Structure 1
Amino acid sequence: MEFFIDAKHEVVDDLLFFVRQYVPSHKSSTGSINDQDPVLVKRRVAGQTPALTDVIDWKQSFFLNLISQLPCTLTVSICTRSNIEETKNSNGELQKKNTMIASKRITRKVYAAPYKSRMDVKDALMNECSYPLVYYTVNDFEMDSLHLQIGPGEYLCAELSVTIPNETTSEAYVKATELVSKITLEEDTDPFPLPKNHQKVILFQGAVPFKSLSDVYMQKGVAAAHQVKQGWGRLTDPTLVGPRTEYILMRGPQGKGQCQGTIDLI
């Protein structure tokens, strides 16, 4: 933990996370920290170890702080499928490979935190401790610059990754996401481009077609209209719900990870 307390290197946040160690209680078979958050949050003071009265799991605390200080790249793209002809196979037939071609793309730098924020509740930042799960949150998701329009035949693609430069300095890691965002669609139409001399570790990747998004939006609209009709008897037509924002969950391959986003009807 001295690495995170020391002031000689650049850090992205002045918060330190300390994981409470599970201590069995004689009065309860479930332990003594059930009513407490498993994570203590302390303000970082250069060169000083915060005063701690709880028993700390130092190994878990080290890894949690390491993850929370690691800059990650969130890339969201609107794509279409394209068939690319490859070489002929042994039967003389052309082999074709489906690939995604991005038409719109945005990239953001994000960091992990052991807290879950709800997108459907304003100002609900860091309102629920989620440890040992961590979340990468975009708090200003309502900004117009983060909105992407999708239409029939297109796919919404999302990826969360760690971009690893050849130069293993903290500055190089921080700038890696900036290099990704500078890659234009004219230079690379890949949904998730990678700068030269860089590698990446994919933490989450998923895609959902427009039709699925549209179906979910309509189903939630009908459900909302039904609830209003049952509660107040004011609506007789489910299509009269009006413009609204719906929240969806996108799950990764084999259920690994999940991504929450919003849908608005234009």
Structure 2
Amino acid sequence: RVELLSMVRKQSKSLDVKETDDAEMDARFWREITDLYFVCRREPGSRGDDDLIFLVKEWAFHFSRREDGGGDSPYFVRRWGPKLDELIGDNPISIDWRRSFFLNFIAHTCYSVTVAICSRRDIQQYQADRSKGLTPVFKVLKTVYASPTRVNFHLDSRKAIETLPSYPEICFAVDDFDSTFDSVVLTDADHCYCVLLNAHDGAAFPHTDDKETCENRSKVKSSKVTLFSGFISYEMVREAYDSEMMSGFGSIFSLGHFSSGKAGRVYMKGPGGRGEVEVAVSGVPGKYNKMNSSSPARGGLRNMVRTAASVASTAAKQAYAAAAASSSSSSSGGGEMVPLKCCLMSISLPWEAIAHDLVFQVSIY
């Protein structure tokens, strides 16, 4: 695999180049590397989530999504087989082998997303001196999967009603976002909502056990590459939430366990406008039983680990209680402090950006 990755790196000097001087030779190279990397070297005992082979159509470069999701898909999918020619069969569709390789390269890599609540003052100090590390107030780690499709969530039913092609955007969706991030609540004006997307194993990493699942690999400390890193302040979340609540239209429905809460969508751009995060935001009730406070989460933001559901639930109740106290104490002064629950629904990134980071930032030696 190291040798194959070295060949890919040499052939990928400029991922945004659409054509080469010798298109036929270029197509042969990417077809062969796709065959060697994803078909020939795969063993029948490999994990099931690597069972799909994605093939991008030649005209996918000119593909543009319609708002209603209509039109042909820019790719098609085959179940793995021992011979690439048999997978393709007599399909008359012309295949873009370069984009097909990178779509499989991305789809067969393992990812985890970390959602954290951090103090804005701590973030500013961390940006000034990264050697000090960053201790989040609360965090959740979740395994996610790269897909050339996006899921259209309806917040009223908490169900995905349809799946549409997103390629050339790659989507990392969280199907159970409402339960996974039920405890992620901004309860202080100094709070910031932070999102990190890391690649940590799989196809892009040369020293990988193909029989291990991405879920198991996320529990093992290993090298990783950050593909998305961004945060948004409480004020910005509150402003976007209030704007949607006052508009009288949009995605405002009951969400989660709190029937009195209303949820709306908030979109967050990454640094330099790279990537987009979709978050379901809802106000939560301010009356909860007070519980004993717990110690803050330990470890830097880069070393976050998954928080058990029971601990998360307890921490959320403590946060709600603290927010209620904060709200009552601030009512005589400034505006009311409204706790905001933020449930990450998806992250979207262009495939070229992901491929570039995986090819050139992962250590292959």
Instruction: Answer yes or no: same fold by TM over 0.5.
Output: yes
Higher helix share: 2
Residue of structure 2 in register with 1:143 after alignment: 179
State how 1:196-211 maps to structure 2 within 5 Å: 198-211=222-235
Match for residue 43 of structure 2? 8
Distance 1:259 1:130 in 2: 14
Please tell me whether the aligned partners of residues 159 and 206 of structure 1 are also in contact (alpha carbons under 8 angstroms).
yes
> 2-side partners of 1:17 and 1:42: how far apart?
7
**Deviation above 6 Å: which 4+ runs of structure 1?**
83-86, 95-99
Identity %: 22
- Measured in 2, the distance between the counterparts of 1:265 and 1:209 equals 15
Task: Spell out, residue by residue over 1:49-83, the C-alpha distance to the aligned partner (whole angstroms, 9 max, x if none).
Answer: 24233111122111111110101121101111339
Residue of 41, 51, 58 corresponding to 1:21: 58
Per the alignment, residue 44 of structure 1 pairs with 80
Q: Any residues of structure 2 matched to 1:1-266 within 5 Å, and which?
A: 1-2=34-35, 3-6=37-40, 7-8=42-43, 10-11=46-47, 12-22=49-59, 35-45=71-81, 47=83, 48-51=86-89, 52-80=91-119, 81-82=121-122, 100-120=134-154, 122-125=159-162, 127-143=163-179, 146-152=182-188, 153-163=190-200, 168-170=207-209, 174=214, 175-179=216-220, 195=221, 198-224=222-248, 243-266=261-284
**Aligned residue pairs, count:** 218
Structure 2 match to 1:27: none
- The answer for unaligned runs of 5 or more in structure 1 is 24-29, 87-94, 180-194, 229-241
Calculate the TM-score normalised by the size of structure 2: 0.52
Match of 2:361 in 1: none
Amino acid at match of 1:72: Y
Shift of the 137–66 alpha-carbon distance from structure 1 to 2, 3 Å rule, reads same
* Separation in 2, partners of 1:20, 1:222: 44
- TM-superposed CA distance for 1:149, in Å, is 1.5
**Distance across 1 between alignment mates of 2:169 and 2:124:** 39
Query: Is contact 2:78–2:87 with CA below 8 Å preserved after alignment?
Result: no
The one-letter amino acid paired with 2:268 is M
- Normalising by structure 1, what TM-score? 0.69
What amino acid is aligned across from residue 244 of structure 1 in structure 2?
K
**2:113 counterpart letter in structure 1:** L
Query: 1:63/1:170 Cα in 2 relative to 1: closer, same or farther (>3 Å)?
Result: farther
**Residue 141 (structure 1) shift:** 0.9
Letter in 2 for 1:222: M
Question: Once structures 1 and 2 are overlaid, which stretch shifts more, 47-56 or 169-178?
Answer: 169-178
Structure 2 counterpart of 1:102, one-letter code: P
- Following superposition, the deviation at residue 40 of structure 1 comes to 1.0
Report Cα offsets for 1:204-254 as digits up to 9, x if no partner: 11111112111211111111179x9xxxxxxxxxxxxx6311111111111
Deviation string for 1:28-62 (max 9, x for gaps)?
xx89xx94221112233455524233111122111
In structure 2, the CA distance between the partners of 1:249 and 1:110, relative to structure 1 (3 Å rule), is: same
Q: 1:210 to 1:145 in 2, by over 3 A?
A: closer
CA shift digits 1:144-192 (9 cap, x unpaired)? 555412111211100111125998113578344223xxxxxxxxxxxxx
Amino acid at match of 2:174: V
Equivalents in 1 of 2:271, 2:153: separation in Å? 23
Alpha-carbon RMSD: 3.5
**SS of equivalent to 1:16:** strand
Deviation at 1:106, TM superposition (A): 0.8
Q: Over residues 109-149 of structure 1, what are the superposed CA-to-partner deviations in whole Å (9 max), with x where a residue is unaligned?
A: 11211112123363235x22121111111111121555412
Q: Which amino acid aligns with 2:51?
A: D
C-alpha contact 1:83 1:96 (8 A) present in aligned 2: no
- Greater CA drift, 75-84 or 213-222: 75-84
Asked if the contact 2:198/2:228 (under 8 Å) is kept, the reply is yes
Q: Secondary structure at the match of 1:246?
A: strand
State the structure with bigger RCO (CA 8 A, min sep 6), 1 or 2. Answer: 2
